[in-house]
């Protein structure tokens, strides 16, 4: 049995072995194989003839330098040889140092390469790749080539896309090609927003079944404080007006931004928002009225969404390529109180104005009003100051102070912090006579009455005890001033009214009837009043007052305007 010895068995090596029965007289040179050399030694063994043999094996042994350097043959032959130098050469990524050994010594093997790289076989040797990027995906590079890092790490909002003809890449989800089920464009899936999906159903969307809880489907809100033009992004949303001032909006226009058939957009006013005037782009028809009641199809006219306090709402449904049907209301309920208040409006007598609008010398009124609005003619407060309704705080029945806070329309309010005038008083002023001064007024939303709806308005007023004419009016749109109350007697110093105005099967034809608690209607206003105001469009309802003598006064103590829709 032969005993085999090998110093190294890590790589393919050349081999020389003595044949049985043949003496070894010299050590032949090692045979190269794959760029390495064989270093081999002898060890006594008990082979078939008891001879010592030299072969390769995978079993490490301990030998002395003498055993390495001197070999004695056996097994029928004879002779000897001497090894004078032992060396080992590495290749590729393996490096060997410490040789050649001529007496005694140690070989040191080490691996070489790039920090952060990996080893790969290049067809000849085991070698190192370049450093790979931290956290990156490693890509193969074909036969004989080094692996490498994908250039991008991607982001939290991208995914890895495969590539049949090259390396993959990171990018956002491509809904035109990445989905085939419920999340595909064919089924209306169009976007992802902050981790929650947005599912937009187009006209071809269909589902055979839908199970599980998908949560609530809220009507998204787009808050706007100024001007606005309706567009595709408003479809299915509520455009919520938050600005305190009046705003001009433009309705959807098919030629500019095409919304699909069945699109719904809603304009909504905040409780303290200013009135919204909407100029149509496409043709708008008001629900509850015949098309003939809106002869021009309402194109080019305007619709109004009332502001404070009505918090009006107007919804538009696209029923044709360039046509929309409109439903509106003054509030969230069917019946609506458009305006109601007990803040007095004072059409005072003539008087005198000092610095900072300190008013004196008025004809004594029946009450000292802590919060009211008073009518001041042009330049009555100071030179160049416009006529208007100014906030007023009375100090007595004949005197008080006005402030620069003014009333124009809508629900009257008491200023939280009245703004004082800093003006030089002009002295005496003469109150306006012979003309109707419009006071509290509010917008009646377009089409909100329907064709048989009703406006109900009531209030009361106080006057001084004279025989001079003093009159209260109302007006709706372009109807002109219609008398509500007429005072021309010393026996009447207060008056209350309850009046109704109803559409007569058409949004553009009305009759006004009512009853007075006291007083006498103005000449020519007794009995029913007949109007032709098109309530398919927004109209302004206003109260008015008129004096014939500048030493008299009228105080509108309280008032309301309510609507009761009926189609």
The secondary structure of 302-355 as a DSSP string is -EEE--TTT--EEEEEEEETTEEEEEEESSSSSSEEEEEE---EEE---EEE-G
Do the Cβ atoms of 314 and 326 come closer than 8 Å? yes
Q: Kindly state whether residues 349 and 488 are assigned to the same domain.
A: yes
High-pLDDT (> 70) share of the chain, %: 68
pLDDT band for position 201 (50/70/90)?
low
Q: Is 39 helix (H, G, I), strand (E, B) or coil?
A: coil
435 alpha-carbon distance from chain centroid: 51
Single residue among 317, 333, 349 that ends a domain in this structure: 333
Rounded-to-integer distance, Cα 358 and Cα 258, Å? 58
Q: Which of 178-187, 277-286, 330-339 has the highest mean pLDDT?
A: 277-286
**Shared-domain flag, residues 423 and 511:** yes
User: E strands within 73-210?
Assistant: 80-82, 94-97, 108-111, 119-121, 126-128, 138-139, 148-149, 159-161, 169-171, 189-193, 196-199
Residue 145 has pLDDT above 50, yes or no: yes
Q: Are residues 510 and 363 in the same domain?
A: yes
Nearest to 331 by CA among 245, 409, 444: 444
Mean pLDDT value across the chain: 75
522 with 406, same domain: the answer is: yes
Tell me how far apart the alpha carbons of residues 279 and 406 are, in angstroms, rounded to a whole number.
27
The number of CA neighbours under 13 Å toward the Cβ of 559 is 26
pLDDT, position 14: 33
Residues 406 and 464 in one domain: yes
Residue 234 has pLDDT above 70, yes or no: yes
Q: Looking at residues 151-155, what average pLDDT do you find?
A: 86
Q: In the prediction, which pLDDT does 293 show?
A: 34
- Pairing mode of beta strands 372-376, 358-360: unpaired
At 433-483, the pLDDT tens digits run 999 999 999 988 877 788 888 999 999 999 998 888 888 888 998 777 787
Number of domain units in the chain: 2
The residue-averaged pLDDT of 111-117 equals: 84
Both 322 and 397 in one domain: the answer is: no
* Residue 185, Cβ density class (10 Å: 0-12 exposed, 13-18 middle, ≥19 buried): middle
Quick one: pLDDT band at residue 184, thresholds 50, 70, 90?
low
Q: What is the pTM of this model?
A: 0.48
Q: Which domain holds residue 273?
A: 221-333
Kindly state whether residues 225 and 323 are assigned to the same domain: yes
| pLDDT tier for residue 420 given thresholds of 50, 70 and 90 | very high
pLDDT level of residue 246 (50, 70, 90 thresholds): confident
Does 178 or 215 have the greater pLDDT score?
Answer: 178
Domain membership flag for residue 235: yes
Looking at residues 138-145, what average pLDDT do you find? Answer: 88
Give 184 or 296, the one with higher predicted confidence. 184
The verdict on residue 488 lying in a domain is: yes
Does some domain include residue 204?
no
Q: Are residues 295 and 379 in the same domain?
A: no
Whether the Cβ atoms of residue 54 and residue 12 lie closer than 8 Å to each other: no
Residue 160 lies in a domain: no
pLDDT at residue 177 above 70?
A: no
340 and 363: one domain? yes
The dihedral through the CA atoms of 36, 41, 46, 49 has a sign that is: positive
What pLDDT, on a 0 to 100 scale, did the predictor assign at position 10?
A: 35
489 shares a domain with 461: yes
Give the span between the Cα atoms of 51 and 23, in whole angstroms. 9
Q: Is residue 28 part of a domain?
A: no
Please give the Cα distance from 395 to 358 (Å, whole number). Answer: 10
- How many C-beta atoms lie closer than 10 Å to residue 286's C-beta? 26
Q: Which residue among 309, 333, 357 closes a domain?
A: 333
Average the pLDDT over each of 294-298, 380-384, 455-459 and give the range with the smallest value: 294-298
42 in a domain, yes or no? Answer: no
* Residues 380, 251 within the same domain: no
Q: Which range has highest mean pLDDT (278-287, 316-325, 359-368)?
A: 359-368
Q: Looking at the predicted structure, is the pLDDT value of residue 349 above 80? A: yes
What digits encode the pLDDT tens for the residues 48-57?
A: 444 333 333 3
pLDDT given at position 302: 54
- 276: domain CATH number is 2.60.120
Which segment, 78-92, 244-258, 531-545, is predicted with the most confidence on average? Answer: 531-545
DSSP state of 404: E
């Amino acid at each position: 049995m032969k005993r085999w010895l090998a110093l190294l068995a890590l790589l393919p090596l050349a081999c020389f072995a003595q044949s049985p029965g043949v003496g070894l007289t010299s050590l032949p040179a090692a045979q190269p194989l794959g760029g390495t050399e064989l270093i081999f030694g002898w060890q006594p063994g008990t082979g078939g003839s008891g001879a010592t043999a030299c072969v390769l094996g995978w079993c490490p042994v301990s030998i002395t330098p003498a055993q390495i350097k001197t070999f004695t043959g056996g097994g029928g032959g004879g002779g000897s040889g001497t090894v004078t130098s032992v060396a080992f050469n590495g290749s590729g990524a393996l490096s060997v140092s410490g040789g050649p050994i001529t007496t005694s010594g140690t070989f040191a093997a080490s691996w070489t390469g790039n920090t952060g790289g990996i080893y790969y076989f290049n067809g000849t040797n085991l070698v190192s790749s370049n450093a790979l990027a931290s956290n990156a995906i490693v890509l193969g590079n074909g036969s004989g080539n080094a692996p490498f890092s994908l250039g991008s790490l991607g982001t939290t909002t991208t995914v890895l896309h495969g590539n049949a003809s090259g390396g993959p890449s990171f990018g956002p989800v491509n809904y035109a090609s990445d989905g085939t089920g419920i999340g595909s464009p064919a089924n209306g899936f169009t976007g992802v927003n902050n981790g929650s999906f947005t599912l937009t159903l187009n006209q071809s969307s269909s589902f055979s079944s839908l199970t599980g809880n998908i949560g609530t489907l809220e009507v998204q809100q787009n808050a706007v404080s100024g001007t606005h033009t309706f567009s595709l992004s408003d479809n299915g949303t509520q455009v919520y007006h938050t600005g305190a001032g009046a705003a001009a909006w433009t309705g959807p226009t098919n030629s500019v931004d095409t919304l699909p058939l069945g699109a719904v957009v809603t304009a909504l006013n905040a409780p303290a928002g200013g009135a919204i005037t909407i100029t149509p782009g496409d043709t708008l028809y008001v629900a509850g009225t015949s098309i003939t009641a809106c002869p021009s199809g309402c194109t080019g006219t305007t619709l109004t969404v009332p502001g404070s306090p009505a918090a009006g709402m107007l919804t538009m449904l696209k029923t044709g390529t360039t046509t929309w049907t409109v439903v509106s209301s003054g509030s969230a309920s069917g019946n609506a109180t458009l305006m109601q208040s007990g803040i007095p409006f004072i059409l005072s007598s003539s008087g005198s104005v000092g610095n900072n609008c300190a008013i004196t010398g008025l004809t004594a009124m029946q009450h000292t009003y802590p919060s009211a609005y008073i009518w001041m003619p042009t330049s009555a407060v100071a030179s160049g100051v416009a006529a208007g309704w100014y906030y007023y705080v009375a100090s007595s029945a004949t005197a008080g102070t006005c402030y620069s806070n003014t009333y124009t329309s809508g629900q009257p309010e008491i200023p939280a912090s009245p703004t004082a005038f800093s003006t030089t008083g002009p002295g005496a002023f003469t109150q306006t006579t012979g003309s109707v001064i419009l006071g509290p007024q509010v917008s009646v939303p377009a089409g909100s009455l329907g064709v048989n709806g009703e406006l109900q308005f009531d209030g009361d007023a106080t006057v001084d005890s004279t025989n001079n004419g003093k009159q209260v009016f109302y007006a709706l749109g372009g109807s002109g001033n219609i008398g509500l109350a007429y005072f021309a007697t010393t026996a009447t110093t207060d008056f209350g009214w309850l009046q109704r105005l109803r559409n007569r099967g058409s949004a553009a034809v009305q009759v006004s009837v009512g009853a007075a608690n006291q007083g006498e209607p103005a000449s020519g206003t007794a009995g029913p009043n007949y109007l032709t105001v098109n309530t398919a469009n927004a109209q302004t309802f206003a109260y008015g007052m008129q004096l014939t003598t500048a030493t008299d006064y009228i105080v509108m103590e309280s008032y309301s305007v309510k609507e009761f829709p009926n189609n």
